Amino acid sequence: MTIKESQDKIIDDFALFEEWSDKYEHIIQMGEDLPAMDPKYKVDENLIRGCQSKVWLHAEFKDGLLHFTADSDAQITKGLVALVVSAVSGHTPADIADTDFYFINAIGLTGHLSQTRAGGLASMVKQIKMYALGYKVQQAQKN
């Protein structure tokens, strides 16, 4: 699945829910389904700034693709990071760096999220892009 297809699927999934509680239930479920993060990566260097709750994000570069693992001590935040990670994980740094995370607005999350949570989400996206750009530059230098 391309990043665009992943994002469209997230949008379709959320379109099914009318109640705010169903949306949140789905987000929390996404968090629960997120593959467990290796505890050795749950270190301060992997903490994302700007989140009220703790969010760890780790990037692994393998065979030209960038894989993300993440975790959070709060369930809703974990679900949010799971959504973002699921949309882009396993793609090339170049593709991820160029990604417009349009699904966030499309599923109406920004309207529902508290300002601090929305800020945290922006920080997650920013951190993912930072990783992608870093590896993209590294690759360009090798080629």
Partner 1 sequence: MKVAETMVQIPLDIEKIRLDFPILHTTVNGKPLVYFDNGATTQKPLAVTRAIETYYNTYNSNVHRGVHTLSQKATMAYEEARTTVAGFINAQPEELIFTKGTTDAINLLAYTFGKKFIKEGDEIIISAMEHHSNIVPWQLCCEERKAVLKVVPINENGELLMDEFERMLSDKTKLVAITYVSNTMGTINPVRDIIRLAHARKVPVMLDAAQAVQHIAVDVKELDVDFMAFSGHKLYGPTGIGALYGKLSWLEQLPPYQGGGDMIKTVSFDKTVYADPPLRFEAGTPNIAGAIGMAAGVKYIIGIGLDKIATTERILTEYALERLSSIDGLRLIGMAEHRGPTFSFVIGNSHPTDVGELLDQQGIAVRTGHHCTQPLMDRYCIPGTARASLSFYNTPEEIERLVDGINKAMKLLKR
Residues noted as catalytic? 51
Q: How many residues bind partner 1 (CB under 8 A)?
A: 18
Backbone torsions φ then ψ of 72, nearest 5 degrees = -150, 155
> Does residue 74 belong to the site contacting partner 1 (CB under 8 A)?
yes
**Partners of 65 in the beta sheet?**
62
Cα–Cα distance, 109 to 122 (Å, whole number): 12
Q: Among candidates 26, 89, 85, which has minimal Cα distance to 55?
A: 85
Is 24 a binding residue for partner 1 by CB under 8 A? The answer is yes
Pick 1 or 112: Cβ nearer partner 1: 112
Q: How far is the CB of 81 from partner 1 (least distance, A)?
A: 13
Using CB under 8 A as the binding rule, whether residue 73 contacts partner 1 is answered as yes
Binding test (CB under 8 A) with partner 1, winner from 16, 18, 21, 36: 21
For residue 55, list its beta bridge partners: 72
Q: How far apart are CA 11 and CA 106, in angstroms?
A: 6
* Window contacting partner 1 (CB under 8 A); options: 35-43, 46-54, 102-110, 123-131: 46-54
